[in-house]
Amino acid sequence: MFCPQCRTEYRSGFTRCADCHVALQPVLPAEPDNEPFPKLVGILDTNDNFVLGMAVAALDEAGIVYDIRPIPESERNFEGRLEPKWLISPSRIMVCTEDESEARLLVEPLQEPMPVEFLTEFEPDQS
Ligand SMILES: [Zn+2]
């Protein structure tokens, strides 16, 4: 017997899923074609809370749904970047693939390393 919701297999004798409280079925329903959860893509990696806040605010304003996940140790690549002033553990902003291009445009200006003291003078990057 299987729970149609969490897809847990139960031994015979059980009729309801202990977690979902729904009736068990003898076979699992086929996976639906369209995934219940949209595919997510990472659009911004940052370990700077200021950048993260700016990105999230921009996404909120645009009505884009996002998720923030910790970046696994193996995928971290912050070499050569300025140590951010508001250091947080490396995080990745994820959005649905359909929102990717719009979201990327919004966070693109934030990808550049911010001058640590951006209120003081800084040279425009001419490279
Ligand atoms: Zn269940």
Express each pLDDT in 77-99 by its tens digit.
666 566 666 788 889 999 999 99
Distance, in Å, from the CA atom of 101 to the CA atom of 106, rounded to the nearest integer, reads 9
What's this model's pTM, rounded to 2 decimal places?
0.55
Give the mean model confidence (pLDDT) for residues 9-28. 91
Comma-separated ranges of CATH 3.30.70.790 domains in the chain: 40-111
Distance 31 CA to ligand 1 centre (A): 15
Quote the percentage of the chain above a pLDDT of 90.
Answer: 45
pLDDT reported for residue 72: 80
Looking from the CA of 40 toward its CB, the CA atoms found within 13 Å total: 14
Higher per-residue confidence, 113 vs 25: 25
Pick the CATH number of 40-111 from 3.30.470.20, 3.40.190.10, 3.30.70.790, 3.30.300.30: 3.30.70.790
Residue 116 pLDDT > 60, yes or no? no
Distance 89 CA to ligand 1 centre (A): 33
Q: Which own/partner pairs from 98-106 qualify as long-range (CB within 8 Å, at least 24 positions apart)?
A: 98/38, 99/64, 99/65, 100/41, 100/43, 102/62, 102/64, 103/43, 103/59, 103/62, 103/64, 103/66, 104/43, 106/55, 106/58, 106/59, 106/62, 106/64
pLDDT reported for residue 119: 47
Distance 32 CA to ligand 1 centre (A): 17
Work out the angle between the directed axes of helices 49-62 and 100-111 (0-180°, nearest 10). Answer: 150
Distance, in Å, from the CA atom of 101 to the CA atom of 93, rounded to the nearest integer, reads 13
Contacts of 111 (CB under 8 A, 6+ apart): 44
Give the mean model confidence (pLDDT) for residues 24-50. 81
Distance 37 CA to ligand 1 centre (A): 17
Each residue of 38-62: pLDDT tens digit? 789 999 998 888 899 999 999 999 9
pLDDT reported for residue 42: 94
Distance 2 CA to ligand 1 centre (A): 8
